[in-house]
Amino acid sequence: MRVCEVTEFGGPEVLRPSEHPWPVPAAGEVVVSIAAANVNPSDLAARSGAHRRRMPDLLTPFVLGWDLAGAVSEVGAGASGYAVGDRVLGMIPWIQTGGRVGAYAEAAAVMPAWLAPRPENLDDVTAATVSLNALTARQALDLIAAPAGATVLVTGASGAVGGYATQLAVQDGLRVLAIASEGDEEWVAGLGPDEVLPRSTDLAGLDPVDAVIDAVPIGAAAAAPVRDAGVAVFTRRVEVGAERALRVQTPLVHCDPTALAELARRVASGSLRTRVARTLDLGDAAEAHRLAERGGLRGKIVLTTH
């Protein structure tokens, strides 16, 4: 099968097409024939070597990729919940599994708990943009556990995690202030927040909020408007001064098939929006990384296998 693998740590050019044997499911696993895989910031960090801080045993070559959409092509001994031909989406917990399997491939052997059924009207490319980022947003809001009416600030609302966090927070009944990228205010307003703030906003000058989801993450400055005893959730480790009496959380997303199935249903029904900036062939993963690194994308880059 075709894969795109990281041959050594470095720039996008180290991502090269290669041939691997078609995966054989171990006991309890299923093989997914992958139609589409999403390109995420974590993939860029793994490719460059930045992830070696948290994954010291990561050795090249390896196949990147958390997010996949496709169909089950084989069911391993003792694997339950799926049959050959079932349409699925899912998230390989790439860091937790040490990068031993990735979605930049025509197929992957995965645990059924990493997957959820894919609604009929959810196409491959759209489905590939859901799992990692919508689960991250859902889990950030669950950590905050704010009552309806509480105010949450979301940074990076033009991006994937921030966009999902904005919509899910609104749907949870929270009051949401969302920070949009320049020129992207209209898209972010369509996600339903109470206020859209420009990226140039002086966050320390805002009225106090109960919590922040710093999806960028900007870092300590994003926590400035959070009231004492409020919650600050960051998507990557950042330094927040110990002088602030905040509950600071830096969770790593985890698989949750029940939550993922619900998120997929919402995307399919149109109540959660996601967007795709470009679709490229799997063999063009290096170009996808170049574009993603440049920033300013309005949506995800999705790699397709056919």
In the bound complex, what is the minimum distance in angstroms from residue 157's beta carbon to ligand NAP? 8
Residues contacting 258, CB < 8 A, separation 6+: none
Among 111, 215, 267, 286, binds ligand NAP (CB under 6 A): 215
How does DSSP assign 27-88, residue by residue? TT-EEEEEEEEEE-HHHHHHHHTGGGGT-TT--SSEE--SEEEEEEEEE-TT--S--TT-EE
Q: How many CB atoms lie within 10 A of CB 287?
A: 16
Among 12, 17, 28, 41, binds ligand NAP (CB under 6 A): 41
In the bound complex, what is the minimum distance in angstroms from residue 8's beta carbon to ligand NAP? 22
In the bound complex, what is the minimum distance in angstroms from residue 214's beta carbon to ligand NAP? 9
Q: Is 302 in the site for ligand NAP (CB under 6 A)?
A: no
| 213 close to 205: Cβ distance less than 8 angstroms | no
Residue burial 180-204, b: 16+ Cβ < 10 Å; e: rest: bbeebbebbeebebeebbebebebe
Tell me which H or E stretch contains 152. strand 151-155
In the bound complex, what is the minimum distance in angstroms from residue 163's beta carbon to ligand NAP? 7
Q: Is 296 in the site for ligand NAP (CB under 6 A)?
A: yes
Q: Is 1 in the site for ligand NAP (CB under 6 A)?
A: no
Report how far apart, in Å, the C-alpha atoms of 269 and of each of 157, 166, 177, 263, 264 are. Answer: 21, 17, 24, 10, 9
Nearest CA-CA partner of 140 in 206, 232, 216: 232
Pattern of binders to ligand NAP over 151-190, x per CB under 6 A? ----xx-xxxxx----------------x-x---------
Could you tell me which stretch among 241-249, 261-269, 272-280, 294-302 binds ligand NAP (CB under 6 A)?
Answer: 294-302
Q: Is 38 in the site for ligand NAP (CB under 6 A)?
A: no
Using CB under 6 A, which residues numbered 238 to 267 contact ligand NAP?
A: 251-253
In the bound complex, what is the minimum distance in angstroms from residue 50's beta carbon to ligand NAP? 10
Residues found near ligand NAP in the complex (CB under 6 A)? 40-42, 132-133, 136, 155-156, 158-162, 179, 181, 199, 215-216, 218, 235-236, 251-253, 295-297
